[in-house]
Homo-oligomer: A and B are copies of this chain.
Amino acid sequence: MTEIKEVTIRRARREDVGHIIAMLADDPLGGPRERIENPLPQSYFRAFETVDRNPNIQLVVAEDGEGAVVGCLQLCTMPGLSSQGASRGLIEDVRVASHCRSRGIGEQLVQWAVVEARARGCNLVELLTHHSRVDAQRFYERLGFARSHVGMTIRF
């Protein structure tokens, strides 16, 4: 058994953007969509400011005992009329640094998001995971998610 790594989940700050993009890029599906340059393209920082100002979106990072950013997740809570006017939560962009996987960090991030969504009045949390990410699907099932829906996308 690998050791469980206790992390602190905290709101992302501007200085975390580089670490977050590095994790988003270190992925067979997401990688080709990012641009890792020095300095990073300004579009990342503009997006961070927009996320940071939006009270319904929480971009968080997992920080280990040494202060290193080792994971990230974005939660969006959305009001809506269905289910008697309950809100819904959407989890996106879950990543754990490759050298820190299988130590329960993703689990702590997702469980944080579920608790937070519930505290914000959501009666449902949803997410889309690419059909090729079979391990991710098993991971979410272990945390209580059901493979209830087909996730459909159109990309421009």
Chain A residues proximal to chain B, CB less than 8 Å = 17, 20-21, 24, 30, 33-35, 41, 43-48, 50-51, 54, 56-57, 59, 74, 76, 78-88, 90, 92-93, 114, 118, 122-131, 137, 140-141, 143-156
How many copies of this chain does the complex contain? 2
Main secondary structure of the interface of A (DSSP, over half): mixed
Which of B82, B93, B141, B155 is the one whose CB lies under 8 Å from A30? B82
Give A105 Cβ to nearest chain B Cβ, in Å: 18
Q: In the complex the two chains form, what is the Cα distance from A51 to B144 in whole Å? A: 28
Instruction: Tell me, in angstroms, the Cα distance from A83 to B114 when the chains sit together.
Output: 25
In the complex the two chains form, is A145's CB within 8 Å of B152's CB?
A: yes
Q: Do the beta carbons of A56 and B56 come within 8 Å of each other?
A: yes
Q: A149-B152, A152-B146, A152-B147 are in contact. Are A84 and B41 (CB under 8 A)?
A: yes
- How distant is the Cα of A57 from the Cα of B88 in the complex, in angstroms? 13
- 4 extra A-B contacts, CB within 8 A, seeds A35-B84, A41-B84: A57-B78, A76-B76, A124-B155, A146-B152
